[in-house]
Amino acid sequence: MSVPKKKYITTPIYYVNAKPHLGHTYTTMLCDTLAKYYRFAGSDVFFLTGTDEHGDKIVKAASKEGKTPQEYTDFISSLFRTTWDTLHIEYDDFIRTTEDRHKKVVRQVLQIIYEKGDIYLADYEGLYCTGCERYLTEKELNEKGECPDHLTKPELIQEKNYFFKLQKYLPKVKKHIEENPDFISPDRYRNEALGAIEELIKQGEDLSISRPKARLTWGIELPFDSSFVTYVWFDALLNYISALGYPDNELYTRFWPAHHFIAKDILKPHAIFWPAMLMAAEIPLYEKLSVHGYWLGWGDIKMSKSLGNAADPLELTNKLGEDALRYFLAREMRFGSDAKFSEEIVITRLNTELSNEIGNLFQRTLSMILKYANHLPKPQSHDIEQKLNAILQEVQTEYHKTMQKERTDLAIEQVLKVTGFLNKAIEEYKPWEMAKTNDENLLPLLTTIFRGTLVCFAYLRPFLPNTWEKLTNLISFVQKEVFPKELSAIEWDTQNMEKPKPFFPRFTNENH
């Protein structure tokens, strides 16, 4: 399956009111894994992440810490960057909304839309949730009158504000979503976005895009009225083009439109407000919006710092290892659905697959080769090769299909079909019994299984990048295809080597 010539992948920019947790890590590691996949497959890739640094919440969080908003955002933004660097996230750019390059683009786009007549000043009264940084409708509140995401009651606010003519663009956004089924995925979120558009049309309200400086000064000043700063979405969403140097930078020309990855709690602004903004500014719409579910902590409640049930990614990495964490996140969550996170779930998944199925296959196959041959001989062909190649043909097709649909869980499942076949072959042929009778098929069998194992690691490379590096340092082999469709794509010459330490020792409560 072919890949696009170019791919622009973005995470949401993370709000700097708290340090990064597992939810942020999942989105970022997923995007990094997919960026690696597309790069390996031949796409020209640009991967963007960053931090969202303006708004009411930031001012309050900074005040609580005894810092200025700039000092506070510098500190928290650096935590995100340090975390991603520690986890070897290979982003191409890290955008901050407090950067001049971003502010310039925000003012430019606001001016374009204002001059077009799509921004106006009016009085407004509404229920404002500081956590969401937006006004909520009565229907959006729970039975206690609280924001369902932050479990706090919104504040009734009356003030003058600038509004974006959202109603003018809602039918156009709806039409685009209906005519382009892959614009938002999975389908449940596409349907949710269409339902939200219908509700917005019924309400007949436009979108508030500013805050008066009398109430908030920490924001980007409107280019046409210095007594207001812009609202968080008209600031934050524009990061996706400001990072590319819109409108005339080579990166923008080369990579836009983007493939956005978000969690479901910010579906509405990305699926509705953002396309409307792009239409108003006469900027081409993004390529695709992929929406994932939540990681659920104790009590099956969404992980969040405010609720105190968020897992720390650096602590997890120290306990599990970076590749094990990356593998678990990619394997456990069915993209679009919620997934549970607990110590028991992590240990079970990693021991069942990463240690037993994958790591042990590599370890025991190489150990038997070194035991019976005292070195790694050239690969030889065994009767199982023909059936193995047939499996690989199917696996390669499904692997690419599932990766390009963000179903990393199913892509890994394809590779496990191969490891399953190889493990079964070991149990059926019993190389230890073959060795007792000096069976001439022993080394052909073992080198065929070992070559199949290396092929599996080639497919798992986006998920296990550090393991792949260890593997290539351990064994000198030639890879003729990035994602091999037959065993002959992996070759090596006879070489002496020592038995390596296990890549993935079994995980226990102690080391977790």
**DSSP H helical ranges for 42-97:** 56-64, 69-86
Out of 213, 305, 470, 512, the active site residue is 305
Beta strand segments in 169-214, E: 184-185, 207-208, 210-212
Out of 21, 57, 260, 382, the active site residue is 21
Out of 36, 132, 268, 382, the active site residue is 132
Task: Report the run of H or E that residue 167 belongs to, with start and end.
Answer: helix 166-179
104 assigned to active site: no
Q: Which of 408, 263, 417 is nearest to 331 (CA)?
A: 408
456 assigned to active site: no
Distance of CA 116 to the CA centre of its chain: 36
Out of 31, 54, 57, 129, the active site residue is 129
Out of 302, 382, 400, 456, the active site residue is 302
Out of 24, 57, 259, 400, the active site residue is 24
31 assigned to active site: no
CB of 200 closer than 8 Å to CB of 71? no
CB of 483 closer than 8 Å to CB of 396? yes
Q: How many CB atoms lie within 10 A of CB 76?
A: 24
Contacts of 358 (CB under 8 A, 6+ apart): 416, 419, 456, 460, 504
Out of 36, 57, 103, 147, the active site residue is 147
- The tokens 């995925």 sit on which residue? 185
147 assigned to active site: yes
CB of 159 closer than 8 Å to CB of 215? yes
Contacts of 398 (CB under 8 A, 6+ apart): 410, 411, 414
24 assigned to active site: yes
21 assigned to active site: yes
Out of 67, 150, 288, 319, the active site residue is 150
Contacts of 165 (CB under 8 A, 6+ apart): 117, 118, 119, 120, 206, 280
3-state secondary structure of 165: coil
Q: Which of 164, 90, 179, 92 is nearest to 134 (CA)?
A: 164
Longest Cα separation, the chain = 90
Catalytic residues: 21, 24, 129, 132, 147, 150, 302, 305
